[in-house]
């Protein structure tokens, strides 16, 4: 059974999995799909048709604009924005107010276990790789590899992280997680589990 705050704005056309918690003032729009055991924080927005797999956390006031896709175990920090308009304008070239038919939505895809820190902005279309970490306040303008740690404006890779989220330490030709001892190998700018 899900727990949904009475003050949340939930479309009757969305799907919410068992065990999910939706807090005060959150909005989940039509055709959105939220998996099992997710947490949707206070004031968070999940756009029409957005997809969140199981065990995702979307913190307070984050904006997940459609057609975003979050795989299992994704963390979205407070006030994160996942955009969906490559060339935003309020009006058409002739000055008329744009409608849904006047633009093409593009989405952000976030792979399994990745984390996006507070107030980061992901400019669609981009993909955040599995288990990657986007630092707080970063602006992501290009795809992020699996296990990458990115920071800055625009975001650049500053290191590697393991599944525990800890920055990896280099040990000869391998990278090691200080928390779990898991080992990784780097090849051509990509990291893989050893």
Can you give the pTM of this predicted structure?
0.95
pLDDT at 16: 98
What is the rounded CA–CA span in Å between residue 157 and residue 138? 11
Q: Please tell me whether the peptide bond between 67 and the residue prior to it is cis, using omega within 30 degrees of 0.
A: yes
pLDDT at 103: 83
Kindly report the three-state secondary structure assignment for every residue of the chain: CCEECCCCEECCCCEECCCCEECCCCEECCCCEECCCCEECCCCEECCCCEECCCCEECCCCEECCCCEECCCCEECCCCEECCCCCCCCECCCCCECCHHHCCCCCEEECCCCEECCCCEECCCEEECCCCEECCCCEECCCECCCEEEECCCCEEEEEECCCCCECEEECCEEECCCCCCEEEEECCEEEEC
* pLDDT tens track, the chain, 194 positions: 889 999 999 999 999 999 999 999 999 999 999 999 999 999 999 999 999 999 999 999 999 999 999 999 999 999 999 999 988 999 999 999 999 888 889 999 999 999 999 999 999 999 999 999 999 999 999 999 999 999 999 999 999 999 999 999 999 999 999 999 999 999 998 999 99
Domain boundaries, the chain: 3-93+104-161, 162-194
What is the rounded CA–CA span in Å between residue 16 and residue 29? 11
Report the topology of domain 3-93+104-161: UDP N-Acetylglucosamine Acyltransferase; domain 1 (2.160.10)
């Amino acid at each position: 059974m899900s727990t949904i705050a009475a003050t949340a704005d939930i479309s009757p056309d969305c799907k919410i999995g068992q065990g999910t918690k939706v807090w005060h003032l959150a909005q989940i729009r039509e055709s959105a799909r939220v998996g099992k055991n997710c947490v949707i924080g206070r004031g968070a927005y999940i756009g029409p048709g957005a997809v969140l797999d199981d065990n995702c956390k979307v913190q307070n006031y984050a904006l997940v604009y459609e057609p975003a896709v979050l795989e299992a175990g994704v963390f979205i920090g407070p006030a994160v924005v996942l955009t969906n308009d490559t060339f935003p304008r309020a009006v058409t070239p002739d000055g008329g107010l744009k409608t849904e038919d006047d633009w093409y939505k593009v989405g952000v895809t976030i792979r399994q276990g990745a984390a996006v820190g507070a107030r980061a902005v992901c400019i669609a279309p981009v993909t955040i790789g599995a288990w990657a970490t986007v630092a707080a306040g970063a602006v992501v303008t290009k795809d992020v590899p699996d296990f990458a740690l990115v920071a800055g404006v625009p975001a650049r890779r500053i290191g590697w992280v393991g599944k525990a989220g800890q920055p990896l330490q280099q040990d000869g030709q391998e990278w090691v997680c200080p928390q779990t001892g898991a080992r990784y190998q780097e090849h051509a700018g990509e990291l893989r589990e050893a």
